[in-house]
Structure 1
């Protein structure tokens, strides 16, 4: 048992964290009109982007390292407990429909397993071992990246994930909302978004959660841009799995090519609905089979495939 496992020691440790600090000026917030509380909360939220902005160089350096690993076939794994874990699962689950990634390419691990997405699993966040087991179950390799996420920067589950991953030679990122956190110190890339005390003391699903979501959005989105999953600011790898996304696919092809509806429909029909391939058939003046070959030779990068088509 570590010293921080003792309730008194843990209380002392929490009291030292910025994210857990008590704000006496808000002690009577429950007596204010609803609009006044909403204005205070909105003002608090408005400070988060500036806290993220202060760490953009560290975020960018981490993203470049993640993209380099993923370009060699590595996976991106988020690991966290509670809100941090849920945000990781959310970000991971949105990558397949947005970027047509395989579900195994970006993965979210949450302390307590999938059930913890909707129900608190007591004690799970205190286990380094559970994190190691979750990573072992994925068959973690040195090509992978593990992002430990924890508002406090001391959650054993997130720490255990980073420590286990680093021992396996994987790239590690520690995302927390306190300065000088053990999580950032344990990782190859430490990102500390210091958002300050919460409106409700210790409720880190608020500003800390917002900050974590902003950073996770950056990690996944910019990594996918670096991997050629977009063409300009268009989601050319979008997976058209419902009516809305099929309509979006047609619109993306139109924005990328300027083609009319008839040409777009013909291109999508010739490429089994693959947006990137359809754009290439129009802009590169090639057939569907050639488009598929050129993209395969270009590691899926549309700009590179267009250059090959022009040669």
Structure 2
């Protein structure tokens, strides 16, 4: 009886955490979408007469060195950070799963070739390689996305490969082959649907990490092109004033921390909800 009550409580907590995390994420995305239409000031409008002003009723988060409203820039800076990270994760998932499934399913030379390419990318520290690629491509959010895609797809390729290898020897896959079903249909209809559960969990847990890396490139001046508002770039602009005007970096830094916490909370909640032990209750 006591064990049953514990299981019921765990179910309730899991569902509650998932609902709360989804609501928080929805609010976060909604703010990013509507921010350009509700901010009190143009995030790129400069007014040197009020540069480096402390937080006040007129400017809640103060102003930066160009007199731009930090509050407006923080709200508008969420879109490139969050949606850029989502785009990166979607692209690396598609590329990684495609290569991983092909390597795991076909094996032999295909597996050897893809595995060698993966090993080459894994031989370099991820962020170092991303910085090198972004530096060669130049400043811009698109180039930053390309750089991170180039170094992050390997994680999903290895995961998809290992899951495909464990599934392809199952009886139902062999039955599909005997019945004459093409390799393409087997992969699309049977392999991918059976590995996407764990892939999606990894995807949700990866968004927060990707956002930190995108912010890192922007902090190094390799992300968005100025004067676009973006949290990592705002940190880069305000680092020289950290001691004299800390609000310039405090608020975008807090925005990054809160957003990553919400996204990680969502990923953890989805992982717990899709836990096989949860389904068995």
| TM-score, reference length from structure 1 | 0.24
Q: RCO greater where, 1 or 2, for CA within 8 Å and sep 6 or more?
A: 2
Tell me which protein shows more helix as a share of its residues: 2
